[in-house]
């Protein structure tokens, strides 16, 4: 089974265990881990490396069209996302460089982006690294050639849609195993749905109406009061029969909420798992 995040993989393993369905932990993995198990060649470039190459290109000799925003906050992140989108869509740096002049009338920054993309690609090549999409395509090629080492069924769940590189990987998987993909019904998933149908997958629609949660806004005078109100509502739901593992709290950022909620839940006797690592430097020697 392939899922998008390590958190979801862990949840699925736990749910299967509660249903007394015994599976090996490695039977439920993230797409990233699956790709790393099958890809060959250069390893995937860590995000900090990609961002450093983009920042270096902007600082050393930025394209004229990007000079005004080269040092503005957010420019590096925006270019990083754009390069990844282009790569996942199947456009390597040299391919986009050829295409960019034709896009210039409607996308005046296309050639500048192509220049940054090319410098990043060269920098990664010099470091024996590759972008995520290249790793995915490498895994697809290897699976097409060598198969899945005895795996007969692959389930894919938790994704909202798939890029072209990911669809290439699923096509390779479908050639060697029964493939079942769960997709939500929305406009953004339509291209992926059509591609999966072209692969020969049979479509089955789940007609059950999805339940929508009731939204409530609660105003608290202080953060401490807000945390206490969250704890009170959790205990109220638990008193009505809902298990603690069926409830969750989403925070905007780790600080200052996580430490406050941790202390509040301990005070109210609420068992909770926090999906935030503890910095090593914060621990006693």
At residue 54, does pLDDT exceed 90?
yes
At residue 277, does pLDDT exceed 90?
no
Is the separation of the CB atoms in 98 and 50 below 8 Å?
A: no
pLDDT over 90, % of the chain:
78
259: left (phi over 0), alpha (psi -120 to 50) or beta: alpha
pLDDT, position 281: 77
Residues 6 or more apart whose Cβ sits within 8 Å of residue 187: none
What's the rounded mean pLDDT across residues 53-78?
93
What's the rounded mean pLDDT across residues 7-35?
92
Cross-strand bridge partners of residue 179: 154
pLDDT, position 209: 64
Q: pLDDT, tens digit, for every residue of 170-225?
A: 999 999 999 999 999 889 999 999 999 999 999 998 877 666 778 889 899 999 99
What six digits make up the tokens of 150? Answer: 């005895």
Burial of 167 (0-12, 13-18, 19+ CB in 10 A): buried
What six digits make up the tokens of 125? Answer: 């090549």
Residue 40 CB coordination number (10 Å): 9
Is the separation of the CB atoms in 137 and 92 below 8 Å?
A: no
What's the rounded mean pLDDT across residues 16-34?
92
pLDDT, position 75: 94
What's the rounded mean pLDDT across residues 59-77?
92
Listed by start position, the domains of the chain span 2-41+133-198, 46-126, 223-279
What six digits make up the tokens of 271? Answer: 């068992």
At residue 261, does pLDDT exceed 70?
yes
pLDDT, position 275: 84
Q: pLDDT, tens digit, for every residue of 76-126?
A: 999 999 999 999 988 999 999 999 999 988 889 999 999 999 999 999 999
pLDDT, position 210: 65
At residue 169, does pLDDT exceed 90?
yes
At residue 28, does pLDDT exceed 90?
yes
Q: Show the DSSP H helices in the chain as ranges.
A: 6-18, 31-38, 47-60, 75-88, 93-103, 110-126, 132-146, 164-174, 190-198, 223-239, 254-268
pLDDT, position 285: 66
Report the chain's mean pLDDT, rounded to a whole number.
92
* pTM, entire model: 0.78
């Amino acid at each position: 089974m392939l899922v998008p995040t390590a958190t979801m993989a862990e949840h699925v393993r736990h749910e299967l265990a509660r249903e007394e369905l015994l599976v090996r932990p490695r039977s439920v993995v993230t797409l990233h881990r699956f790709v790393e198990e099958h890809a060959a060649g250069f390893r995937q470039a860590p995000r900090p490396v990609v961002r450093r190459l983009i920042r270096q290109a902007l600082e050393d000799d930025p394209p004229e069209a990007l000079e005004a925003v080269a040092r503005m906050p957010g420019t590096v992140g925006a270019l990083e996302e754009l390069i990844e989108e282009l790569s996942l869509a199947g456009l390597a740096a040299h391919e986009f460089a050829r295409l960019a002049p034709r896009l210039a009338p409607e996308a005046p920054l296309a050639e500048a982006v192509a220049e940054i993309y090319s410098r990043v690609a060269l920098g990664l090549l010099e470091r024996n690294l590759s972008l995520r999409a290249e790793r995915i395509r490498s895994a697809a090629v290897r699976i097409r050639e060598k198969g899945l080492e005895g795996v007969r069924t692959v389930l894919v769940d938790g994704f909202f849609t798939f890029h072209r590189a990911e669809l290439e990987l699923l096509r390779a998987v479908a050639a060697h195993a029964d493939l079942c993909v769960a997709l939500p019904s929305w406009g953004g998933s339509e291209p992926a749905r059509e591609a999966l149908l072209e692969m020969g997958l049979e479509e089955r629609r789940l007609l059950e109406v999805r339940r929508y949660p009731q939204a409530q806004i609660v105003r608290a005078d202080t953060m401490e009061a807000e945390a206490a109100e969250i704890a009170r509502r959790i205990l109220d739901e638990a008193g009505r029969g809902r298990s603690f593992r069926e409830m969750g709290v989403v925070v905007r950022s780790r600080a200052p909420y996580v430490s406050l909620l941790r202390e509040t839940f301990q005070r109210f006797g609420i068992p909770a798992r926090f999906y935030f690592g503890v910095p090593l430097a914060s621990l006693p020697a």
